[in-house]
Amino acid sequence: MTMPWSLQAAVLANAPIASGIYRLRLAVPADLATKAKAGQFVMIRTGDRHDPLLRRPFSIHDADRTSWSILYRLAGQGTAWLSRQSPGQNLAVIGPLGRGFPLDTPSPPLLVGGGIGVAPLPMLARRFSERHGAPPEVIIGFRTADEVVAEEAFLRLGCNLTVVTEDGSRGAQGLVTDVLPTAPSEPPFLMLCGPWPMMRAVARIARERGWQGVASLETTMACGIGACLGCAVPANDPHRTYLHVCQHGPVLELQAVQWENR
Ligand SMILES: Cc1cc2nc3c(=O)[nH]c(=O)nc-3n(C[C@H](O)[C@H](O)[C@H](O)COP(=O)(O)OP(=O)(O)OC[C@H]3O[C@@H](n4cnc5c(N)ncnc54)[C@H](O)[C@@H]3O)c2cc1C
Ligand code: FES
């Protein structure tokens, strides 16, 4: 695994791309940029001084030879500050962090993303296509059409893409669980990223149908490097142990997580 760097990254672009959602592109040294794996994340300082004190975690949305991009949703003070940063300003960044998505899967992958959780999935789809010569199937869900992101990236890759919105304003009306395949020729290997209730619902279906998979978990994080233990989630084992999302994850096997206990 690549050792994380602590760097001052210049903002190359930072602009809204959907309702309340921004895309930020950061300059990253060439010997680091392409080492990021799909599903890894960065911790970014989101304040001028010590307010907010803690860095904020964001998935790496895309990586080219000299830059990383992230997609972020305006949530609170830190992301509001981030949205005010202009090209040329420097941001304090640590990354790449954590364990990303596997690129070799035991059966055909099915990527399932919800809301801003789709952020790491286009890079995963691209890396998967480069490795296996065929794009994965993708399902993405949003509340409404204004919040849809990353659709073109999946279409450019030639993914078989299903978009759903809760209000039916784009794609089929419903939730991602409504459009999971009911009788696939081979059980899909699920690769999830989205809000906990969405991933819990998909994990339940996977358990019932005997499907395997992984999920990228979101928790509040203070350090991002395994020092504070603030990102613990209950593990699915009889000893009531915990997994630390920043170190063991954020991408974890579906069956490793106690989905019902949160
Ligand atoms: C590994 C990882 C990857 C992430 N990737 C992305 C990403 O690609 N894009 C993105 O927009 N966000 C991502 N997040 C979530 C992001 O870190 C939070 O939205 C951000 O920290 C909010 O900071 P803030 O200061 O603006 O909000 P705060 O003022 O800290 O919080 C505002 C509100 O947002 C809620 N909130 C804070 N953190 C989270 C969280 N982790 N999950 C859900 N709700 C939260 C708070 O409970 C509060 O209600 C990721 C989180 C993790 C752990
Ligand atoms: S965020 Fe500190 S241990 Fe995970």
pLDDT value, residue 1: 67
Residue pLDDT, tens place only, 241-260: 999 999 999 999 999 999 98
Decide whether any atom of ligand 1 lies within 6 Å of the 2 Cβ.
no
Q: How many Å lie between the centroid of ligand 2 and the Cα of residue 47?
A: 20
Residue pLDDT, tens place only, 43-56: 999 998 776 678 99
Atom of ligand 1 nearest to the CA of 82: 26
CA-nearest residue, atom 35 of ligand 1 = 75
Q: What is the CATH number of domain 5-97?
A: 2.40.30.10
Residue pLDDT, tens place only, 65-89: 999 999 999 999 999 999 999 999 9
CA-nearest residue, atom 13 of ligand 1 = 58
3-state secondary structure of 54: coil
Do the domains at 5-97 and 109-216 have one common CATH topology?
Answer: no
3-state secondary structure of 82: helix
Complex ipTM > 0.90: yes
Provide the residue ranges of all domains of the chain, joining segments of one domain with +. 5-97, 109-216
CB count within 10 Å of CB 171 equals 19
Q: What is the CATH number of domain 109-216?
A: 3.40.50.80
Q: How many Å lie between the centroid of ligand 2 and the Cα of residue 81?
A: 23
CA-nearest residue, atom 52 of ligand 1 = 218
